[in-house]
Structure formats: structure tokens, C-alpha cells
Structure 1
Amino acid sequence: MAKSSKLWYDKPASEWNEALPIGNGRLGCMIHGRTATELLCLNEDSVWYGGPQDRVPQDASQNLQKLRELVREGQHADAEKLVDRAFGASPSGQRHYEPLGNVKVEFGHDADKVMDYRRELELTTAIHTTDYSHEGAKVKVEMLASAIDQVIAIRIQSSSNFEFAVRLTRESEIEYESHEYLDSVRTTDNQIIMLATPGGYQSVRACCALGIRTDHEGTVEAQGGSLVVTAKEALVVIAARTSFRHEDFEAVAVGDVSAALERGAEKIWDHHVQHYQSFYHQTQLTLGPPSPHDGLSTDQRIKKGTTPALVALYTNYSRYLLLSSSRPSNGNDRTLDLPANLQGIWNPSFHPAWGSKFTLDINLQMNYWGCLPLSLAPCMEPLFSLLHRLALPENGGRVAKEMYGARGWCCHNNTDLWADCSPCERWLPATLWPLGGAWLSSFIWEHYLFTCCISTLRKNFPVLEEAVKFCLDWLVSETFPDGKEYRVTNPSLSPENTFIDEYTGEKGVFCRGSMADLTIISSLFEDYLEACKTLHLKPHLLREVGKAMLALPPPSICKKTGRLQEWGIANHADAEPGHRHISHLLGVYPFTCIDMDASPQLSRAALRSLEIRLAHGGGHTGWSRSHLLCIFSRLRMPDKVAESFAALLDTSTLANLFSSHPPFQIDGNFGAAAAVVECLVQSFEITGQGQRVLRILPSWPQEWGDGEVKGVRCRGGWSVAFKWRDGMVDGPVEVKSVVEEDGSAHGDAGNEHRNKHRSSEERRGVVVFPDGGFITFEGTGTPPYTTDLTQ
């Protein structure tokens, strides 16, 4: 099998989109690998412009009934005018993410005199290395982002003494500009300390500190704003802290640097690798056979198209990126941990596209679609931290109450560092959509399905329940054309899309009961009832939820086109048939409402919807193509999976393997990895006897070759490992219990007994092989439980 763990290049990056990322979840860096002046672009996840804002619209609640009536009557222009005037927040925009700064290491090595150049990122160690020779001297520069030491560390080694200078600044991403966005830079004997204020009222403040330690014969001298080093070997460490998490952020950052320098390079490297691999090696994916293209540099491999090894590299890289941009912090207080944003943590711009925020109408969710099946459950903890802040009474609770007179909490299409839940911007196809928080809450039950972790479910349950309360109040009774009365959302929309009214021909945004809305809400209600049962809680909302679920309209199919209806009650046509969003297909993926076996008619309608989108140019952004990949994998269409992955590489992948909207958005990387693992194993089905179905290789494209996978997580608390050849399992399928805990941490002896009993009761399943054959299995006693199943 070909190796699939390394990105490498034979020349330095000429721009940011060619640089390579490292990160420890909070600190990030893009490395250019240059030999004259190395450029390191730094990020820290809490460096955002401005502070908290009071943006809750004051006129929304008194205009809500009027808006609903306008939507009901199909008066689209008037409805949109009212939303623009009464429902938009002021100011309309939320805060945006900014770069931390730049480090420049001036080696002065002329490119014309550089020989044997190579830069690479090793995914199994999360270490970046630049190697080359210059005038007879061998130079090696290694970099990592340590979650243990909370620093970015650089080890510079040369076969002979040489001089280089290090600068720390905060400049525009346009390299020829000279603007510096900082407060001060000061140097000491071996440190540079930079203070910066991103700007805006009550903005966070940041400190970036850099320190250098050399070998015994080396020297470090402060000259102006630089540190000049003469040595054969030097250790450079960079730390950053902000006032978002620390009152004395400067002291903490300087302390991080001093502690790391004292620890030294060997210990930093050893502890980093050990800690990182404890996460990364949970899952292993290897594909083959080797291709002649596998020996090319990564940028050339992308141009040559799909090979099995490149599919594995893309998937492993996506796992690396999630570990590098979403990691729980050290210590007990994780309430201010932040999930991966629109660009992970790697943003070069002071004016990033879409603010590099947390976008909740698919993008943030897509970041975490593959998190659980790829055995990276700890990476979801920062997402839950944000979710809890969104649900606070002063944040999402206030928006729900003041805008809609509703219980619980809600969040609209975006949020920022401050967990702002008000509508963002004044773009009608997206702005007035208060179900972003409800959709995000789906990860609460999903996390339990994969981990069986009672304590996490119990901790997150209040957030889930309050989201349910909002959805109950957001639903209203509407009479459909067939005379039946249902409960639907009004106003409703299909995120970022628009329609042509089937009766008037008028272009519109707002409808009653979009497919996306009803998918999210019905799934949330089901999650709530299952969580109550699992936690042995009396569901206080049982009667309300039950009545609401019975009153939701069933999915409908357009008689004219045969597609799944996107716009609820009406058979509206698409204003943009090739639109990038396919929100009406959320029931296929990521939710499991529409299933090939259980609902074949709806599955065919979903497929027809995809055909229409693709026929008109759909899937033209990286993340949109990745959503198509996920849906085709769920519909078990391996040929379409292979076709979509090839298109992703061809049109939406940058030289450094980042996914491009354009510009760079990291969700496409994460979504594609989720699709790959969905092609390997699917685990959303339950038999009539209550057995968890583990379906092996349900959608694996022939072009992706043979392989071996270990550590794929499945719903029900299982992990699987197997090899395959020619589309068939080769040898046994190892099934292992990975139940994380049983609730005993809360000291409830009764619950502990019941949960252990329940875990034992649920240790049943069936493995379905690619040819349709199956084997049942049952674990007894207390997990862990492992068995090898041979067909």
C-alpha cells in the first residue's frame, strides 16, 4: 500500500495558499518554507475585532404576526421589505476574526545557491520540515505547534555556524504593504514581545511573545526590533494569549515562552509527538495499489487527479486539520474553548471573506460531520463549549424571547467570538433563519450515539431541551391547499436560496415550512425523546413534543419534476436551479430521515433533486461538492462518489490541499473526509429486533482501490477494523466496544446500575458485508468487548 501521511513540495510557497498549516487547536501558523526570508503567518483563535454588541432587533416581535400573514398571502415583496426594516439587527454585522501576526526569519540564503530543497508536513507527527543545502552547509528547519507547551516551536539546525535575524510584526497579508496593526514591539536579550489591539469597542487585546535559545556556542543579540542569532542550532518558541481568556494575558504568554525554552527542544518534540499521536492513531487508513503519480510532489499529484493514495492522504489530512484547529484546552475550565471556524484557525486577512465566523446554515456543522466516525470525539468539546454560551439566557435566550416571544433559545445564521445570536447582515435569503442553533444541537445526541457517554449527554441535555422549547413555540398552524392543518415554520426559508412563485411568477425568499426547517425540527424532537429515555428523565415536554410531531407535514414530492420539494407547502421553482445549497436534502445527510431501504420513494426524489442541481452547475464550491459526496455515499452510489471527488480535486482544491470556495474554506476538507468514512462504514440503521447495523463498504468506488482501515467509530458505541480487496472484505471484521463511560462519574448508583445494564442490553448488532451477507454479534458483560467476524 502507498504511504498516505505526507504532503511535500520541491520549492517554497510563493503565496499563502501554497503554505502549510500547523496548529494546536488554539495557535496556528502557515509556513512558507522560504530560504531567504522565511514567512510564518500566525493565528490565535480568540483574536477578533471588537467586543460584545447589543444587536437584538427591537421591532421584530410586534411585527411577527404581520410578517406571517404576508408570507401566508404570498406577498413576497412586502414580506421582504418588512424583514429588512424590522427584523434586521443593528449594526447588521457581527465581529470578525483576524490574524495574530507574522514572524520573519531572515536566513539570507539566496535561492540560486540552494540545492536539494524539500519541505514537507508529516501528518503522523504534525511536524513541518524544510531541508536544503546552501553553499555546502546542510540546513534543517523543523516546526510544530505543541498543545502540551502551548507554543509554536521552531528548531533550526545547520552543519556549520550561520547568522540569521528574527522579527515579529503584525502586517497586512499583502506582502508589499508596510502597514503594521499593532500597539508596540519591544526586545530583551532573547525575547520579542508584541502587543496588539484588533480594534473596536471593548476589543480583546493580544500579546505575542517570542524567545530564542541556542546551543552552548551560539549567541543571541537584540538589534533594533530584531533578534540576531549566530549558532549551529537554535530553538525559537512563539506563544500568544489574549484578554478573552486571561486578565494578565501578557504575563501568561511570556511565561509560556520561558517555560518552553527551559524545557528544551528534545522534550518539546517528544511530548508533542506522544500527545498528538494519542489522538491521530485512533484511526488508520491505508489505500492502494500504488500509482506512478504517488511519487510526485503534492501539488503535482492534485493536478494528476484521483489515486487511492491521494484519497487516503486527503482524508488523513482532514483528520490532521481538525486536530490542529479544534482541541480541548488543558486544564478544567474549557468554557471559552472555540471550535474550528470558517477557515479552521488559519486566516491571513484583516478583512476575511464572510468574517471567517462560525456560519450555522451548514458550514460549522460540516466541520464536525466526520469528527465522531473518525474517532476524534474530543475535538467536538470546543463545539459544545460554544453551544453552551449560545444557549445562555443573555444570548440565545434573550433573542428568542425579545424577537419571537418564545421560550428557550435560538441562534440565526452566524455567530462570533461573543456567541452573538442575533440575525447577521441584511441578506434576506439567509438572515432571518433562527434554526442555526437547533441544527447545531443535533450533535448532542449524535455524540452519545457514537460514544455512549452518559456524562456528556447529561451535561448538554439542558441546551437540547431549551432548543426544543424554542422550536415548539416557533411552529404555527397553517392550512395546506388540501385543506389539512399542519404545524410548520412561518416565516421559513431554505438557507441562501430563492424561488419563483408557482402562482405569480414572482421571485421570493420566505415560505411556510421549508423542507430544511422541518427536517431539523423533527430530528431535534426525536433526539429529545431519545435523550430523555436514555437519561431516565421525565420528559416535561412530552405531550407538547408528541402533539407537534404528529402535526408536522410529511415530505412532499413535486409532481412536475419528481424532485423532493424544497419550499414546503408550495411547488415553487428554483430561481437558481444549480444553487450551491441543497438544504432540502439534509434528511439524507447529515440526518437519517430519508433512507434507501426505509423510504425508497423519497430517496429517488432526493436523487432527482441532485440530478437537477448538477445539470445546472451545482456543486461548484468546495463545501457544496463535499455535501454532494456525503449524499451520494449515503445513497450508495459509488460511481457518483468517485465523480464528485474528482471534481473536488479538479476545481476546488488548492496546492496545499486546502478546500476552496473560493477563497479557502476548511469545511470542504472536513465534509469530504466525512464522505470517505461513510463509504467505508454506515451505522445509522437499526433492525426490527433492535440490532445496530454496521454496513461495510456500502459505497466504496472501485477507483479508490483496496485497503485497510482501523478504528472507524460507529453508532452504538462500536469501532470496526477490516481489510478489503476488489470491493470485498478480505479476512475478518474486528468489532470492538468503545463505550466511553457509564454515568458513574456523577455518583448516582441507581443510574450507574441501570446504565450498565442498558449497555449490556444494547451490545447487539449485525455486520452487513458488501455482497449482502451478514453476521450477528452480541457482547456480554461489561465492555470492552472485541470479536472477529469472518464471513
Structure 2
Amino acid sequence: MKLMSFRICVYVVMVNCVAISHAIAQQSTYQLWYSKPAEKWTDALPIGNGRIGAMIFAGVEQDRIQFNEETLWTGAPRDYNRKGAANYLSEIRKLLFEGKQEAAEKLATEKFMGTQSATGDRNKWTADMKALKGITGSPAEENYDDLQWKTINVPSYEGWETVGLSGLDGAVWFRTTIDVPDDWVGKNLVLDLNRIRDHDFTFVNGTLVGNTDGTSPRKYTIPAKLIKKGKNVIAIQVLNYFDKGGIAGYKDTSRAIAVYPEGAEPQNGISLVKAWKYKIQNDEPPMAPQFQASYQPFGELYLNFKNPSVTVSNYKRKLDLSTAIASTSYTLNGVNYLREYFASQPNQAIVIRLTADKKGSISLDVVLGSPHKYAAVKKIDANTISLSLRVRGGALKGESQLKAVVTKGKLLVGQDKIAITGADEVILYLTAGTNFISDKNVSGIPANACLKALAGLKDKTYVQVKAAHLKEYQKYYKAFSISFGNSDNEKLPTDERIERFAAAHDAPLAALYVQYGRYLLISSSRPGTQPANLQGIWNDLLTPPWGSKYTTNINLEMNYWPTGPLNLPAMNEPLFKKTAVLAKNGAITAKEHYNANGWVLHHNTDLWNGTAPINASNHGIWVSGAGWLSQHLWEHYRFTQDRVFLKNEAYPLMKQAAVFFVDFLIKDSKTGWLISTPSNSPENGGLVAGPAMDHQIIRTLFKNCIAASELLGTDAEFSKVLQNKLTLLAPNQIGKYGQLQEWLEDKDDTTNKHRHVSHLWGVHPGNDITWDNPEMMRAAKQSLLYRGDEGTGWSLAWKINFWSRFKDGDHAMKMVKMLISPAAKGGGAYINLFDAHPPFQIDGNFGGAAGIAEMLLQSHTQFVELLPALPVDLPEGEVKGICARGGFELSFKWSKGVLISVEVKSNEDSVCLLRYGNRITSIATQKGAVYKLNGDLEKL
């Protein structure tokens, strides 16, 4: 232990780090660590430099490093808007005003939604597959020779991708047999397969018994004449056009797909849950039409070690949040091995270093691969190989280059791998790039990013590369620190801490969760990159959940909630750059779909910055994305007080978002109010007139634009227009159950437990509803009580923020414990602390981190309020570098639930109105000055 401390101190001095003793003391606190390798992708540990991300599995015999590059997506530049959609706007509105929601949604689906990408000839392909093109003989036949076929577990509700056919779309044959008992002969049987994706042709003993296209349940009758005693053959041709494929069966795994006599109970039949034989007939189905594109995995790096298979001891894999370095250590055959991994932003590479405490002990094969069908690996030079690929049916191509630097030993580069034998040390540099330049330009050369990165690494030592990585990363990470005391559970692996968190006194795990959220945001949203998508920059699937896109009716915005309070303003830059491009595209959508000026954004976007409504009209027509993103622009100003940013970047975008709503809002004939229609309350209740969330966002946007114009001394006439509109805009309303109404009409269902609680936007992240209006705040709280505590991961995270704003810290902490619990059907966390929707979505990590900060400090009203929602489970703590609106940076301590001391640093000449409980103090601050106070807010 003394030797380890010595090594840390020497290294910190080398790289000129500060606060050495603090770093050593906090080392174990802010780590994720485990005593066994990752088995699943959501066990692995993430690293990233904003552009390139990787997941580290850390196996002993084989280490898998799955990696991504932020601009590898499906799709291509195209026009997402539907020409002439605005011609149907008035009719859709008329139908909604008449209460004809179904008719309005039908018309909107047919005439108003955005366009889809081009599709191939599905009919021809299906005919070719039915004609058995690409396969010898007919696998439907009873005596077909399938001895050489592979096996696969059936069913697979989440698609055959989850049981071994990753990324496959196409035609696949499945075969199995059943042994029919004597007393079944002469009876009709039921073949219950439930769902199959997408189209099946199902045969029994060579005869077709049914075929269905779609996801409706399959329950076919097998005529008695087809059945014989003993062995019977079931053969199914499955045609999967896109995404999840195969025999899906029942989501409820207690129900088995089965064969049983008519009139009998399924559980008394023959289960078909087992390994079936399968054969891929064709993996080139016609391209399926898509409203938007999907984020893609790039490749896999495998380190296949040649050490003898003997017992491993002292195994540990970890991720140190303070350094953004993952590591794997273990003892094998008397030799201590160490691997280090980090994603360097200065050198734009994934860096991996392998060492051992005995010379000549490192031998392995290094292999590159990709899930993309069109991918190839080749030798570049004596220590470099490359992986080139293209996305099927899309415009994007990619290249990754891997360079090995070996000390002693032998290195041999082949066409598809690097073989290393008897080395003392191995350093691997993994790079990646694509041909993406912008949403209109894909003329780039994929290899250029790799060549530039490797040229920059030339003649640099590992120590230099690591030092540059630490300096760049820690300028963000070290701006903030948090501690909730100590816990006995800190000595446990992270997966065990998650399992015990709900019932344990492990407050430090909540602090770790905050810093992990900051780590993930730094790692997936550096200045100069794309913003963090639904999965940050980490994805291993060709058809990821929800396309791993940018969902703008909560999820993208939630990703950026930590930037203000948790002192990460620079991480906003990718979001704001994307917002500027979305505004250009959204101006076209505003004209085509609404005949309005300004810009509009609906509920989703992608790499190509689509702004038109997508998917189905009952949730895809939601008009407030631009308004919500404008809130982030204004909030960035409020936290930083950067007037240059407000003038040159924020206000122009905010104003044009407001211009759209000035044109879009329409008078409701029943109430006389201006309302938003058509729209919806995400993603609940269908297409409506006048959802409360829209009005809260619009009202807040108008107020922010008025304040900004006053600050900048501009647009006085436009400000008057907005002030007038504000007096006419539909207000928040309290319904018959004492709830905040979600819609214009008082029609809330108190039994509805929907994961979205959109009408509470005004409570958080907005400030349209605060304790300045206690009656409305209580109504909002009542709505949340009706909606309940359960939810997906991101929904749980949002509820932490709500309960914090309601100043109920104990209820907020209850939600924290639900969020940091083993992943289940209703949210939680995977063992690597990734948020579980489920499946993985990163927004819950960011929303949860911001929510815990909201328990400690709030500044959305005139006050900077300390410990407004402190739960009893966090009696001790200290936070440094937490930020408040107004340009204030605070550090404070508390003990036994009571504030002890406060420091306020001001980034602007202004007044800080500080509040703790019933105590209020006003500080006239000067830029750069620090003000110290005691727990009674008395100046020291």
C-alpha cells in the first residue's frame, strides 16, 4: 500500500497536477470497480473524448474494446419536409376543435408527417425469397438435410440480434422437430408462436400451415391429417425487413411458445423454447423506409492473449473518474499484469497500454473487426492495420487505423491482425474517422482523421500522451467536487453497491453518481464535437433503440441539465452549434408545414438535422423543440453572464423561435385564449389542441426574449408584440382533482401512470411555476402524486428534479434510490451505472446528476437557495464549484443536516440574494471576488 501511494505521488508531480493529497484521498471514492470481467455490453466501462468512444470489457484471455465514432450514422443528406403539408393545417385544427381527434390524426398521418427515405422493392425480394433464391433445395421439406446448420435459441423477444445474429436483416430458415404422443394422433393441433418479426411462412412436415406479415400473434391450426406419431418437422421461413428479427414469442417468458391439441391448455403441450437449427438465406433485404437515421457502431478491437489458461488472482477492473482512465489488473502465472485505457482528446485516439512486472511476458494477437457487412481489414505498414467500412444503404463510410508500439519482443503485422510475442510493453493507438463534413456535405476522406491523429502521436512517449490527456480532461473535471461523507460500502465492488443501495447507508454512491454523470458528459460532448445523443457516444447495435437519435421532447435536453449547476458550461458548445443548424433547417419546416416564419423543431432529430414531424401523428406532431432548446441558450447566459454569447448566438436563435410561435398560435373559440395546435403532450393523449406544456414553454420563451432584448437594448417593438401575446396565452389551470391540468380541457385521468410528466415542465426545468404561486405549485405536486413514482430511468431522474423543486428532499432521495437500483422493467441502473430505460439511455445519468445538485442548490427564482431539499439520508456533505444563475460559483459544507459555511465567488458585478431556510442575506458582489459566510449567512 505504501508503494502504491508513493507511485501516485511521483506521477502527479510529473504531470504537474494540483491538490495531491486531495486526489489520493478521493481516489477510491470516485471509481467504478469490479472483481470480474464484463459479460454484457452494459457491464463494460465507457471511455470517450467527445468524438470517439469505447466500451472496455477487460477479459483476461480476450479483451474486447467496442468503439464508436460520433458521425457514423445511417442515411444521407435529403429533404425531410413534406411539400404542401401546410395546406392541411387548417383542416387538422378544425377537426381537433370539433373533438374529432381520430380523424385529425388520420389526416395528419397521411398528409402532414415528414418524408421517409427511399425504399427498395420489397415485393420482388419477398417473391425471390419465397422462390428459394439463394438456398439449395427447400428447407420446408420434412427430409431436408440440415445437419450442417448452426443452432440458435428460440424465441428471442428482443430479436435474433440478442442471441447471436447481430445486425442481421433478411431471410432466415428455422427448423426443429417435435415428438407427437399416441393420444395426439388424429387431432388438430395448435401451433402457438405468438409474435414473429416480420413475415413468416410456417410449414409442418412440408406443408404450409400459415403465413402472416406483421407483428400480430401467430396461432396456426395444424390439421390432424398432417400429424403422425413420433417425429414431426416444423420449418419456418422468417423474412425480417428491418430491425429486430426472428421468432419473438412472448415478452412474458413464463409463457412458452408450444404445440398442443385444440381445446387443451398450452402448458400441457410440447414447448418449443429450445435451440432450433437455422440457415441464413439472404442478408440483403430491400432498404426499409425511415423517417430519420440511426447512430451506428464502428468496430471491435480484440486483444487475444496467448497466456496459458491458469488460475487468475487479484483481478480488478476499474474506471477512475478523476483521471478518465480505465484499467485492468490481475496476476497470472506469478506475473502481475496491468492494462490502462483512455480516450485522448488532444491526440484524438483511444490509447491502450499493456505492461507486466516480468520482462517478455506480453504475447497477444490484436484483431480489428466490425458488425458492418461491408467492412475490410488490411495492413498499412510494419506496425499499423486499418479497418474500412461503409454503412449499408447510406452515404457514410469510415476508417479506423490501429498502430502498435512495442518494447522488446516481436511484432508481426498481417493482413488482418497484429501478432505480438514476448514484449515488455505494448502501446496501442486506435483512431477513427468518416467522410461526414456536415448535414449537407459527405465529401470527406475517412482516413484523414486517422492520419492526422497518428502524425500527431509521432515521437511522443506514452507519458507525454497521458499527461496531455490528464491536463485537458481535468480542467473540466476538477472545476467541481462533491462529498457526502463516508460509508462502509465504499470498499465493495460497484455492482454490489448498486444492489445494496436502496437499503444501505451509502450516501457516497450518490456523490459518485453525480461525478459519473459529469464524467459521461465530458466524455461525450467536448467542444467541437456533435452533442451527446440518446446513448452519449456509446452504441453496439446496428439498429439501436430509438435509433440512438436526439429525442427533443425531453431526452436531448435532459442530457444538458448538468452543464449549469455542475460547472460544465463548455460542454454546451456542441448542443448550441447543432441548435444553430437546426434553426436553419427548422425555418424551412416552419414554412412547409405551418406557413410560418421563424423556426420549428419536432420531437426528434438526427445527424442530418431533420426538423419535420416523424413517426405517427399521435406523438410526432409536437412543436416546442425549438422553444425548449432556446431555454438552454438563455440558461447558459444566466449561469455564465456572457453577454457576447447572448448577443451573437443565443438571442438571435431565441427570437426566431419566438417568431414562429407568434405566427403559429391561434385563438381558441371557446376560451378566447391563444393556444398551440396541433400538438401533443409528449407522448401521452394523442394529437390535441392546447397542451399545457407547450404554453409553459412558449410563455417562458417570450419572457426570456423580452428580458434579453432589454439587456441588449434591442427589438423594443418585437418585445411589445410578445408582451401582448403573453396576456392572451392560455394560462396554467387547476382541474377538478386539484391537479395541474395537462390539457386545455379538464380531462386528466388520475389513474394514468405514464412515464412522461410533460405538463410539469413549468416546475422543472422551467420556472413558470414556483413557490411564489403556492396554489399552482401544490396542484403540480398533486399531478405528480397521481402519476406515481415508478417510471423508466429518465423518468425517475426527472422526478428527482420535481421533488427537489417541491422541496421534499426525502421523496427526491427515494427517487434517487430507485434510479440507482439494479436495472429492471421500470428503470434503474446497469452494473456500469448506465441508466436503464430499459434498455440503456444516457439521459437518466445526466438528469439524475442534475437532480441531486437540485437538492443542494436552486437558483431558478430571485434567490440562490442553499440545501432547499436536503434529505435525512445526506446529513453530512461538502460541495465545491457548484454554480447558480447570476454568475455565482459556490462552495459550502453541512453537518447533521445543518449548513456550516458558505463561500460565494462572483463572475459578475451583481447582487447575490442568498437564502437558507428562513434566512436571507444580500451580497453586493464584485467580479472575481470571494465572499465567506457562516451557516447563519453572516459574513466572516
SS in 2 for 1:90: coil
Q: Which whole-Å CA distance do the structure 1 matches of 2:615 and 2:663 have between them?
A: 25
Runs of 4+ in 1 over 3 A off after TM superposition: 108-112, 183-187, 573-576
Q: Which runs of 5 or more residues in structure 1 are unaligned? A: 172-178, 330-336, 499-508, 687-692, 740-759
Q: Which residue of 1 aligns with 2:385?
A: 192
Q: CA deviation at 1:220?
A: 1.8
Q: 1:102 aligns with which of 274, 294, 300?
A: 300
Matched, 1:494 2:686: no
Matched, 1:786 2:930: yes
Which residue identity is paired with 2:742? E
Q: Which residue of 1 aligns with 2:779?
A: 605
SS in 1 for 2:509: helix
Q: Which residue of 2 aligns with 1:742?
A: none
Output one character per residue of 1:729-748: Cα deviation in whole Å (capped at 9) or x when no partner.
12x31000134xxxxxxxxx
Q: Which residue of 1 aligns with 2:589?
A: 399
Task: Single out whichever of 338-347 and 544-553 deviates more from structure 2.
Answer: 544-553
Q: CA deviation at 1:572?
A: 1.6
Q: Which whole-Å CA distance do the structure 2 matches of 1:513 and 1:339 have between them?
A: 31
Matched, 1:301 2:491: no
Matched, 1:88 2:113: yes
Which residue identity is paired with 1:326? S
Q: Which whole-Å CA distance do the structure 1 matches of 2:562 and 2:540 have between them?
A: 26
Which residue identity is paired with 1:270? A
Q: Which residue of 2 aligns with 1:413?
A: 603
Q: CA deviation at 1:197?
A: 1.1
Matched, 1:662 2:861: no
Q: Structure 1 residues 714, 48: CA separation in 2 closer, same or farther (over 3 Å shift)?
A: same
Q: Which whole-Å CA distance do the structure 2 matches of 1:110 and 1:59 have between them?
A: 68
Q: Which whole-Å CA distance do the structure 2 matches of 1:543 and 1:681 have between them?
A: 34
Q: Which whole-Å CA distance do the structure 1 matches of 2:681 and 2:715 have between them?
A: 34
SS in 1 for 2:889: strand
Which residue identity is paired with 2:402? L
1:467-486 counterparts in 2 under 5 A? 467-480=657-670, 484-486=671-673
Q: Which whole-Å CA distance do the structure 2 matches of 1:89 and 1:275 have between them?
A: 42
Q: Which residue of 1 aligns with 2:724?
A: 547
Q: CA deviation at 1:633?
A: 0.4
Contact kept, 8 Å, 2:692 with 2:741, in 1: the verdict is: yes
> TM-score of the superposition, structure 1-length normalised?
0.89
Q: 1:567 aligns with which of 726, 733, 743?
A: 743
Output one character per residue of 1:131-151: Cα deviation in whole Å (capped at 9) or x when no partner.
011111111000000111111
Q: CA deviation at 1:127?
A: 0.3
Q: CA deviation at 1:261?
A: 4.5
Q: Which whole-Å CA distance do the structure 2 matches of 1:111 and 1:497 have between them?
A: 55
Output one character per residue of 1:197-217: Cα deviation in whole Å (capped at 9) or x when no partner.
11324x1221111101112x2
Q: 1:592 aligns with which of 754, 762, 767?
A: 767
Matched, 1:219 2:244: no
> TM-score of the superposition, structure 2-length normalised?
0.75
Which residue identity is paired with 1:252? A
Q: Which whole-Å CA distance do the structure 2 matches of 1:464 and 1:285 have between them?
A: 34
Task: Single out whichever of 262-271 and 353-362 deviates more from structure 2.
Answer: 262-271
Output one character per residue of 1:420-478: Cα deviation in whole Å (capped at 9) or x when no partner.
1111212x332111221221111111100000011211222221111111111110011
Output one character per residue of 1:466-491: Cα deviation in whole Å (capped at 9) or x when no partner.
111111111001123xxx41100111
Contact kept, 8 Å, 1:213 with 1:261, in 2: the verdict is: no
Q: Which whole-Å CA distance do the structure 1 matches of 2:379 and 2:730 have between them?
A: 65
1:230-241 counterparts in 2 under 5 A? 230=421, 231-241=423-433
Output one character per residue of 1:596-638: Cα deviation in whole Å (capped at 9) or x when no partner.
2x11011111111111111xxx532000000110000011001
Q: Which residue of 1 aligns with 2:878?
A: 708
1:34-433 counterparts in 2 under 5 A? 34-91=59-116, 93-109=291-307, 112-159=310-357, 160-161=359-360, 162-171=362-371, 180-201=373-394, 203-215=395-407, 217-230=408-421, 231-245=423-437, 247-288=444-485, 290-306=486-502, 307-329=506-528, 337-392=529-584, 395-426=585-616, 428-433=617-622
SS in 1 for 2:531: coil
Output one character per residue of 1:205-246: Cα deviation in whole Å (capped at 9) or x when no partner.
21111101112x233211341111231101100111111137
Q: Which whole-Å CA distance do the structure 1 matches of 2:452 and 2:851 have between them?
A: 42
Contact kept, 8 Å, 2:750 with 2:786, in 1: the verdict is: no
Contact kept, 8 Å, 2:565 with 2:853, in 1: the verdict is: yes
Q: Which residue of 2 aligns with 1:583?
A: 758
Q: CA deviation at 1:563?
A: 0.7
Q: Which whole-Å CA distance do the structure 1 matches of 2:378 and 2:559 have between them?
A: 36
Which protein is bigger by CA-based radius of gyration? 2
- Matched pairs, number: 720
Contact kept, 8 Å, 2:398 with 2:446, in 1: the verdict is: yes
Q: CA deviation at 1:152?
A: 0.6
Q: CA deviation at 1:287?
A: 1.1
Q: 1:681 aligns with which of 831, 835, 857?
A: 857
Which residue identity is paired with 1:350? L
Output one character per residue of 1:340-362: Cα deviation in whole Å (capped at 9) or x when no partner.
00000001100000000000000
Q: CA deviation at 1:55?
A: 2.2
Which residue identity is paired with 1:227? I
Q: Which whole-Å CA distance do the structure 1 matches of 2:808 and 2:309 have between them?
A: 48
Output one character per residue of 1:299-355: Cα deviation in whole Å (capped at 9) or x when no partner.
0000001511100011110000000000103xxxxxxx3100000000110000000
Q: Which whole-Å CA distance do the structure 1 matches of 2:298 and 2:605 have between them?
A: 20
Q: Which residue of 2 aligns with 1:777?
A: 923
Contact kept, 8 Å, 2:386 with 2:400, in 1: the verdict is: yes
SS in 1 for 2:336: strand
Matched, 1:621 2:814: no
Q: CA deviation at 1:585?
A: 0.3
SS in 2 for 1:510: strand
Q: 1:737 aligns with which of 891, 900, 906?
A: 906
Q: CA deviation at 1:186?
A: 3.4
Which residue identity is paired with 1:262? D
SS in 1 for 2:36: coil
Q: Which whole-Å CA distance do the structure 1 matches of 2:396 and 2:414 have between them?
A: 30
Q: Which residue of 2 aligns with 1:176?
A: none
Contact kept, 8 Å, 2:56 with 2:64, in 1: the verdict is: yes
Q: Structure 1 residues 510, 19: CA separation in 2 closer, same or farther (over 3 Å shift)?
A: same
Which residue identity is paired with 2:866? I
Q: CA deviation at 1:249?
A: 3.0
Q: Which whole-Å CA distance do the structure 1 matches of 2:467 and 2:928 have between them?
A: 30
Q: Which whole-Å CA distance do the structure 2 matches of 1:120 and 1:184 have between them?
A: 30
Please give the root-mean-square deviation of Cα atoms over the aligned residues, in Å: 1.6
Q: CA deviation at 1:510?
A: 2.4
Contact kept, 8 Å, 1:237 with 1:261, in 2: the verdict is: no
Q: Structure 1 residues 111, 448: CA separation in 2 closer, same or farther (over 3 Å shift)?
A: farther
Contact kept, 8 Å, 2:751 with 2:786, in 1: the verdict is: no
| Identical-pair percentage | 35
Output one character per residue of 1:677-698: Cα deviation in whole Å (capped at 9) or x when no partner.
1111111221xxxxxx211101
Q: 2:626 aligns with which of 437, 444, 447?
A: 437
Q: Which whole-Å CA distance do the structure 2 matches of 1:774 and 1:575 have between them?
A: 38
Contact kept, 8 Å, 2:312 with 2:332, in 1: the verdict is: yes
Q: Structure 1 residues 282, 662: CA separation in 2 closer, same or farther (over 3 Å shift)?
A: same
Which residue identity is paired with 2:687? F
Q: Which residue of 1 aligns with 2:45?
A: 20
Contact kept, 8 Å, 1:775 with 1:789, in 2: the verdict is: no
Q: Which has the higher strand share?
A: 2
Q: CA deviation at 1:112?
A: 4.5
Q: Which whole-Å CA distance do the structure 2 matches of 1:413 and 1:454 have between them?
A: 30
Q: 1:511 aligns with which of 677, 688, 710?
A: 688
Task: Single out whichever of 645-654 and 29-38 deviates more from structure 2.
Answer: 645-654
SS in 2 for 1:132: strand
Q: Which whole-Å CA distance do the structure 1 matches of 2:316 and 2:307 have between them?
A: 15
Q: Which whole-Å CA distance do the structure 2 matches of 1:224 and 1:705 have between them?
A: 60
Q: Which whole-Å CA distance do the structure 1 matches of 2:34 and 2:97 have between them?
A: 58
Contact kept, 8 Å, 2:45 with 2:56, in 1: the verdict is: yes
Contact kept, 8 Å, 1:235 with 1:261, in 2: the verdict is: no
SS in 2 for 1:214: strand
Q: Which whole-Å CA distance do the structure 2 matches of 1:342 and 1:422 have between them?
A: 19
Contact kept, 8 Å, 1:767 with 1:774, in 2: the verdict is: yes
Q: Which whole-Å CA distance do the structure 2 matches of 1:573 and 1:381 have between them?
A: 39
